Amino acid sequence: MKKVFLSFLLVLVSVTAFAQSIWAVDPMHSSVNFNIKHMGINFVQGRFDVFKGKVSTQGANLDNASLNFEVGVNSINTGVEMRDKHLKSADFFDAEKYPAMTFNSTSITKDKNNTYLLKGELKIKETTKEITVPVTFGGVAKNQQGKEVMGFQTKFTVNRLDYGIKYDPTGAGVAKDVEVSLFFEMVKE
């Protein structure tokens, strides 16, 4: 009987140790933002209002996690309707032909403290490139409904020309580099 109990306990501990948790983006507490230099003297800020994503973890942190996100290009919002319409056109994102940008992780490694290095494939329009971004892990808590939530953020730069966004290729009017800031709160499913 003792051996059966110990075997059961070992199996239970093993299953618990390798159990995966799935976390989904909470859009009410998350944001996808960008800044880009205009005319070399100022910055235009914007965001995407429609996005979704999932994170698969084996614990209450990002160790060995898998992350997948999608951003709806038609939801671009700079606060200026005429500019947003131009950004959705073939000059920039060509939202009708390419309605989504995606990111799929390939690896994540712990750096120091609550910082990770996340590698993955970013796809914008027809181009997919591997990028590495720093991720700051905010931790896990319970929300007002008693559900577990996880928070993290990242900030990185991409060259828009690398992804086929060729309007003003000199970068004189619209800079080549775009600073991206992502803030995600994920709810455990």
The verdict on residue 97 lying in a domain is: yes
CA 156 to centroid of chain Cα atoms: 11
Q: Write out residues in the chain with pLDDT < 70, as ranges.
A: 1-18
pLDDT, residue 15, reads: 41
The verdict on residue 36 lying in a domain is: yes
pLDDT, residue 16, reads: 43
* CATH number for position 119: 2.40.128.110
The verdict on residue 10 lying in a domain is: no
Considering its fold, how many domains does the chain have in total? Answer: 1
CB neighbour burial string for 99-125, b if at least 16 within 10 angstroms, e if fewer: bbbebebeebeeeeeeebebebebbbb
The tokens for 9 are: 């306990």
pLDDT, residue 6, reads: 44
pLDDT, residue 2, reads: 54
Quote the domain boundaries for residue 63: 20-188
CB atoms within 10 A of CB 165: 22
Instruction: Give pLDDT tens digits for 113-152.
Output: 889 999 999 999 999 999 999 999 999 999 999 999 999 9
User: What is the model's pTM?
Assistant: 0.87
**What residue type is assigned to position 153 of the chain?**
Q
